[in-house]
Every structure is written in C-alpha cells, then in structure tokens.
Amino acid sequence: MAILEIKNLHKEYGKNTVLKSINATVEEGDVIAILGPSGTGKSTLLRELNMLEYPTSGAVIFEDQDITKASEAGLDKIRQDLGMVFQSFNLFPNMTVLDNVKIALTKVKGIADDEATATAKQFLEKVGVVDKVDVYPASLSGGQQQRVAIARALAMNPKIMLFDEPTSALDPEMVGEVLKTMRELAQEGMTMLVVTHEMGFAREVASKIWFMSDGDMTAYDNPVSFFENPNSERAQNFLAKML
C-alpha cells in the first residue's frame, strides 16, 4: 500500500530547474536508495517530502493528504511522522545527548518527563550510545553523533525515515557503524528514503533505487537490474565512476 505519493513535483530556483515533474510512489516497508551525481536534486527532492523546502508545483500525498497545501500547524503534526537525519547531524549543541533525544518527546508530544527519559534511553541503547547520555554532542565522535541523531528521529516513532547523505560528513572508519544501524532499521521494516553515495549499502539493503540525473528521476523496482543492467547512458556513466 502506498504510504507516500509524489505527483508532478517540480522545483525551480529562479531560471534554474532542479526537479522536473517527478512522479513516484513509496510503499510501506520500502527502503529506497536515492542515487545520482552531485547537484542533480537528490537532497532537494528529499527536503520537499517534509516541506523543509517548498516545491514550485506538484503534490506530495502522505496518508491521503497533500502536505504541500497543509497549514503551518498541520505541517508541524505531519513532520512528527517523517523523521529526518542530516548530513551534518544537526544535534542541538546546547543540550546533552539525552536531552537531544528527549526534548521533542516532552515539548512536541507532551510526554511526561520520566517516560520520555525511558523512551530516549531505549533508543540510545538501540543505536549503541546509551553510555553517553549525560555528555554534550561536541564530545562525541561523528559516528556517535549521527547515531544519536538517528535515535532522536526514531524516538518520535515516525512512519517514514528520511536520510540526507547520513555518512557523507563522516571519517571513513565511522561510516560502518552508522550504516550498521541503518541496516538494522531496514531489517525491522522501517520505511526509509536514503540519499547516499554508499553503493554497497544501496545494493545490499535497498529494495528500490531512484536514480536522479539533471532533475529527472528514474525508479528501479529491483536494485539488481539497476546495478547489473542500467538501461540508460547516464546511469552507466554514473556507475562506471562510482564502482
């Protein structure tokens, strides 16, 4: 069943067209790897799914509602269901690890403090940084920070997780620990959209590939067919460079 539908999504910055009428569907449980060369609109597409950026035209249907037309208050509600993880982690530096995860639970969801603490610790345990609850983000490694960021998003119990190049800012030796966490999440059946350059991860974990190039998007329902037999020149060139 389609959990998210993208209809004729179009984005222009001035004269520059970034997304050219994209159409796509996300099924529950999908793990979609969004691949493609840099500057082809991958992140823009992802950010338009929770309205961090607004499309020029088109619709994003989430649970039978066009969220491009949602009110500000409605959007605040919808965003709780769309967890997001950023390239630069974006942890709140003025809060401890625990508070980073907890604050949305108490302030947005209105959950009682002790219950929120328990939930936060549960998710920090899940991503393997529960021993760091009382430290500030600046004293964590990049890999640890990103795993806290994942825990922060997961604690809100989202229906979809959006990952915007989650390993691009990490030192190579830390990429593995973050990908491991994401792989576990995929195995649990979380619906995920992942903008990434990690071809190995895409090949192993993704159930679908969206290949983007110059604002166009081609969806491959079978990752193997994309990697083995990409029937477009642009995809072939991309893979030749990446693999």
Partner 1 sequence: MKKWMKKVAILLMAIGMFISTGAGVFSVKNVSAAETDPTLSRVKKSGKLVVGTAAEYAPYEFHATVNGKDKILGFDMDVARTLAKHLGVKLEVQDMSFDSLLGAVKTGKIDMAIAGMTYTPERAKEVNFSTPYYNDKNVVLTLKENKNKWATLDQIRGAKLGAQVASSQSKLASTLTDKKTVQVKKITDLVMQLSQKKVDAVVLAQTSAKSYLTQSDQFAITKAKLPITTGNAVSTVMNKNSPVFKERVDQILKDHVIGAPLQKWQDKAFKQAVQKDSFIKKYMPYFIKGTEYSVGLAVIGVFFGIILGVLFALMKMSTIKPLKWLAVAYIEAIRGVPLLIQVFLVYFGTQVIGLDVSSFLAGAIAMFLNSAAYVAEIIRSGIQAVPAGQTEAARSLGFTKNQTMRYMILPQAIKNILPALGNEFVTVIKEGSVVSVIGVGELTFQTSVVQGASFKPFLPLIVTAVIYFILTFGITRLLNFFEKKLHKSDKSFG
Positions in the binding site for partner 1 (CB under 8 A): 50, 52, 72-73, 76-77, 79-80, 82-84, 86, 88, 90-95, 103-104, 107-109, 136-139, 149, 152-153, 156
Smallest gap, in angstroms, from Cβ of residue 205 to partner 1?
22
Cβ closest to partner 1, residue 44 vs residue 213: 44
Q: Which residue has the tokens 């979609």?
A: 32
Nearer to partner 1, 98 or 235 (CB): 98
Minimum separation from the CB atom of position 31 to partner 1 (A): 19
CB of 74 to partner 1, least distance (A): 11
Q: Which is nearer to partner 1, 13 or 92 (CB)?
A: 92
Q: How far is the CB of 83 from partner 1 (least distance, A)?
A: 7
- Closest to partner 1 by CB, 1 vs 73, is 73
Measured CA to CA in angstroms, residue 160 lies from 63, 192, 206, 225 at distances of 11, 6, 14, 25
Q: How far, in Å, CA of 59 to CA of 162, rounded?
A: 18
**What is the smallest separation between the CB atom of 110 and partner 1, expressed in angstroms?**
11
Least distance (Å) between residue 47 CB and partner 1: 8
Output 82 or 235, the one with its CB closest to partner 1: 82
The nearer residue to partner 1, 113 or 214, going by C-beta atoms, is: 113
